A and B are shown apart, each in its own frame.
Chain A
Amino acid sequence: MERGSVQNTTPERLIYVPKLEPSHFIPNSITTCKYNFLTFLPKNLWFQFQKLANIYFLIIAVLQVIPQITVSDGVPNILLPLGFVLTVSAVKDLLEDLNRRKSDNEENNRQILKWQNSNWESLKWMDICVGDVVKVRKNEYFPADLILLSSSEPNGLCYIETKNLDGETNLKHKLCCRVLHDMLHDEGALDRFFAEIICEIPNPMIYEFKGKITAMDTEVMLGTEQFLLRGSSLRNTEWIIGIVVYSGHETKIMLNSSKSQNKFSFLEARMNDEIINIFILQVTICLFCALFYVIWFSHTSSDTEQYLELDEHTESRLVVFILIFFTWMLIFTNFVPISLIVTLEMVKFVQGIFISWDIKMYYEENDTPARVQSSNLNEELGQIHYIFSDKTGTLTCNIMEFRKFCINGTSYGTNKRQGPESKKPAVDFVDPSFDAFAEDYQEFLLHLALCHTIVTEKAENGEIEYKASSPDELALVSAAKFFGVELLGRNGNQEVIISVHGEEKAYQVLNILEFSSNRKRMSIVCRFPNGKLYLLCKGADTMLLPRLQRDQRNIEKSWEYLEAYASEGLRTLVLATRELSDDEYEAWNTEYLRAMGDIVNREKLVSQVNELLEKNLLLTGITAIEDKLQDGVPAAISFIREAGIKVWVLTGDKIETAINIGFSSALLTNEMSRAIIDGTSEYTVKFQLQEALSGNRFNASKFALIISGDSLLKILKSDLIFMFIKLIDKADVVLACRVSPQQKADLVRLIRDVKPNVRTLSIGDGANDVNMILAAHVGVGIAGLEGNQAVRAADYSIAQFAYLKRLLFTHGRECYRRNANLIGYNFYKNLLLTLPLFFYGIFSAFSGQILYSMWTYQLFNVWFASFPIMIYAIFDKDKEFHKLEQMPELYKIGLKDKLFHGIAFWSWIVEGVLESVVLTIVSVYSICYSSTESNGRIMGMWEVSDLIYSLVVIVCNLRVFGFSLTFYWFSVLISFLSVVMYFLTSAILTQWLPIETYLDNYDGRGSTAKILQVANTYFVIIIVCAGIFIIAPIIKYIKKIKKLLTPPPKYKEIPENDNEEQVEPDEDLPLSTYTPLLARKHTGFAFSGELGHTPQITDPSFRRQS
Chain B
Amino acid sequence: MDAEKSNKPGNSALKQQKLKSWSFKMSKIVLGFFYIFCGSFFLIIGSVIVSESNSVIEHKLRYDNVDACKADWKTRPLCTIKLELDEKMPSPVFVYYEITNMYQNHRRYNKNRDIKQLMGKTQSKNDIDSYCDPVKTMGDLGLIVNNYYLNAKSVANPCGLMAKTFFNDTYTINPITSGIAEVKISFDELAWETDKDEKFKNNDNMHLQWTDVENQHFMVWMSTAGLPTFKKLWGKIKHDLPKGQYAITIQNNYDISDFDGEKAIIVSTTSGLGGKMSFLGILCLIVGGISFLGGSAVVGLGFYLKKIKGISID
Contact status B272-A934, CB under 8 Å: yes
Which partner residue on chain A sits nearest B32 by CB separation?
A1037
Interface flag for A309 (CB, 8 Å): yes
Q: Tell me the A946-975 residues at the B interface (CB within 8 Å).
A: 965-969
Provided the pairs A304-B259, A844-B107 are in contact, do residues A1030 and B294 lie with their beta carbons within 8 angstroms?
yes
Our pick among A930, A931, A1026 for the contact of B291 (Cβ within 8 Å) is A1026
Contact status A931-B17, CB under 8 Å: no
Provided the pairs A939-B226, A1044-B305 are in contact, do residues A1030 and B38 lie with their beta carbons within 8 angstroms?
yes
Contact status B275-A936, CB under 8 Å: yes
Interface flag for B171 (CB, 8 Å): no
Complex contacts, A943 vs chain B, CB 8 Å: 226
Complex contacts, A700 vs chain B, CB 8 Å: none
- Looking at the complex, which of B143-151, B189-197, B243-251 is the stretch in contact with chain A? B189-197
- Looking at the complex, which of A246-254, A463-471, A1002-1010, A1093-1101 is the stretch in contact with chain B? A1002-1010
A304 to B102, CA, bound (A): 8
Q: Tell me the B78-126 residues at the A interface (CB within 8 Å).
A: 92, 94, 96, 102-110, 115-116, 119
- Looking at the complex, which of A114-122, A354-362, A442-450, A488-496 is the stretch in contact with chain B? A354-362
Contact status A968-B21, CB under 8 Å: yes
Interface 1/0 per residue, A308-338 and B, CB below 8 Å:
1110100000000000000100000000000
Provided the pairs A849-B106, A881-B17 are in contact, do residues A357 and B231 lie with their beta carbons within 8 angstroms?
no
Contact status B109-A357, CB under 8 Å: no
- Looking at the complex, which of B22-30, B67-75, B207-215 is the stretch in contact with chain A? B22-30
Provided the pairs A966-B23, A1026-B291 are in contact, do residues A1019 and B280 lie with their beta carbons within 8 angstroms?
yes
Which has the most chain B C-beta neighbours within 10 Å: A67, A354, A849? A849
How distant is B239 from chain A, measured CB to nearest CB, in Å? 15
Interface flag for B161 (CB, 8 Å): yes
Provided the pairs A309-B135, A928-B230, A1030-B290 are in contact, do residues A877 and B21 lie with their beta carbons within 8 angstroms?
yes
Interface flag for B255 (CB, 8 Å): yes
Complex contacts, B10 vs chain A, CB 8 Å: 357, 359
Contact status A1026-B192, CB under 8 Å: no
A307 to B110, CA, bound (A): 11
Interface flag for A932 (CB, 8 Å): yes
Interface flag for B35 (CB, 8 Å): yes
How distant is B314 from chain A, measured CB to nearest CB, in Å? 9
Q: Tell me the A461-498 residues at the B interface (CB within 8 Å).
A: none
A967 to B258, CA, bound (A): 59
A733 to B311, CA, bound (A): 40
Complex contacts, B21 vs chain A, CB 8 Å: 875, 877, 966-968
How distant is B284 from chain A, measured CB to nearest CB, in Å? 6
Our pick among A354, A875, A1023, A1030 for the contact of B280 (Cβ within 8 Å) is A1023
Interface flag for A999 (CB, 8 Å): yes
Contact status B301-A1041, CB under 8 Å: yes
Interface flag for B273 (CB, 8 Å): yes
Which partner residue on chain B sits nearest A300 by CB separation?
B259
Interface flag for A203 (CB, 8 Å): no
A938 to B227, CA, bound (A): 12
A1026 to B40, CA, bound (A): 13
Interface flag for A1050 (CB, 8 Å): no
Contact status B273-A932, CB under 8 Å: yes
Interface flag for A935 (CB, 8 Å): yes
Our pick among B110, B190, B232, B283 for the contact of A922 (Cβ within 8 Å) is B283
Contact status B9-A357, CB under 8 Å: yes
Which has the most chain B C-beta neighbours within 10 Å: A300, A306, A847, A848? A306
Contact status B115-A999, CB under 8 Å: yes
Complex contacts, A584 vs chain B, CB 8 Å: none
Provided the pairs A309-B161, A1041-B301 are in contact, do residues A965 and B280 lie with their beta carbons within 8 angstroms?
no
Our pick among B7, B23, B192, B226 for the contact of A927 (Cβ within 8 Å) is B226
Complex contacts, A1002 vs chain B, CB 8 Å: 115, 199
Which has the most chain A C-beta neighbours within 10 Å: B17, B189, B230, B259? B17
Our pick among A356, A875, A936, A944 for the contact of B9 (Cβ within 8 Å) is A356
Contact status B290-A849, CB under 8 Å: no
A932 to B19, CA, bound (A): 45
Our pick among A303, A925, A941 for the contact of B260 (Cβ within 8 Å) is A303
Interface flag for B165 (CB, 8 Å): yes
Interface 1/0 per residue, B211-232 and A, CB below 8 Å:
0000000000001111110111
Contact status A367-B190, CB under 8 Å: no
Interface flag for A154 (CB, 8 Å): no
Which partner residue on chain B sits nearest A1010 by CB separation?
B192
Contact status A368-B7, CB under 8 Å: yes
A356 to B161, CA, bound (A): 63
Interface flag for A750 (CB, 8 Å): no
Complex contacts, A937 vs chain B, CB 8 Å: 190-192, 233
Interface flag for A933 (CB, 8 Å): yes
How distant is B10 from chain A, measured CB to nearest CB, in Å? 7
Contact status A307-B161, CB under 8 Å: yes
Interface flag for A84 (CB, 8 Å): no
Our pick among A305, A310, A1034, A1044 for the contact of B108 (Cβ within 8 Å) is A310
Contact status A306-B258, CB under 8 Å: yes
Contact status A930-B134, CB under 8 Å: no
A926 to B130, CA, bound (A): 34
How distant is B11 from chain A, measured CB to nearest CB, in Å? 6
Complex contacts, A312 vs chain B, CB 8 Å: 134
A310 to B103, CA, bound (A): 13
Contact status A999-B274, CB under 8 Å: no
Provided the pairs A308-B103, A358-B16, A1030-B35 are in contact, do residues A1020 and B280 lie with their beta carbons within 8 angstroms?
yes
Interface flag for A1033 (CB, 8 Å): yes
Our pick among A305, A935, A1015 for the contact of B189 (Cβ within 8 Å) is A935
Interface flag for B128 (CB, 8 Å): no
Our pick among B8, B109, B190, B284 for the contact of A369 (Cβ within 8 Å) is B8
Which has the most chain A C-beta neighbours within 10 Å: B7, B105, B119? B105
Complex contacts, A995 vs chain B, CB 8 Å: 119, 198-199
Interface flag for B252 (CB, 8 Å): no
Interface flag for A561 (CB, 8 Å): no
Contact status A845-B106, CB under 8 Å: yes
Provided the pairs A967-B22, A1019-B284 are in contact, do residues A932 and B274 lie with their beta carbons within 8 angstroms?
yes
Contact status A327-B226, CB under 8 Å: no
Contact status B280-A308, CB under 8 Å: no
Interface 1/0 per residue, A343-386 and B, CB below 8 Å:
00000000000101111001010011100000000000000000
Which partner residue on chain B sits nearest A994 by CB separation?
B198
A161 to B277, CA, bound (A): 86
Contact status B287-A1026, CB under 8 Å: yes
A933 to B42, CA, bound (A): 21
Interface flag for B176 (CB, 8 Å): no
A999 to B114, CA, bound (A): 11
Complex contacts, B45 vs chain A, CB 8 Å: 1019, 1022
Interface 1/0 per residue, B281-314 and A, CB below 8 Å:
0011001001100100010010001000001010
Provided the pairs A936-B275, A967-B22 are in contact, do residues A67 and B130 lie with their beta carbons within 8 angstroms?
yes
A135 to B132, CA, bound (A): 84
A303 to B260, CA, bound (A): 7
A520 to B11, CA, bound (A): 50
Q: Tell me the A900-929 residues at the B interface (CB within 8 Å).
A: 922, 924-929
Interface flag for B187 (CB, 8 Å): no
Q: Tell me the B254-275 residues at the A interface (CB within 8 Å).
A: 255, 258-260, 268, 270-275
27 contacts between A and B (CB under 8 A): A303-B259, A304-B258, A307-B109, A307-B164, A310-B108, A312-B134, A358-B9, A359-B9, A369-B7, A849-B105, A849-B106, A875-B17, A922-B283, A924-B226, A926-B279, A928-B227, A934-B272, A942-B224, A966-B21, A967-B24, A1003-B110, A1006-B192, A1010-B192, A1014-B274, A1016-B280, A1027-B287, A1030-B35
- Contacts A936-B236, A938-B230, A941-B105 known; 18 new A-B pairs at CB < 8 A: A307-B258, A358-B9, A359-B15, A364-B8, A844-B106, A849-B110, A924-B227, A926-B277, A930-B275, A932-B275, A933-B270, A942-B223, A968-B19, A1002-B115, A1022-B45, A1030-B290, A1037-B298, A1041-B305
- 10 nearest interchain CB pairs? A1006-B194, A928-B226, A936-B94, A930-B275, A931-B275, A932-B274, A306-B258, A930-B277, A931-B274, A357-B15
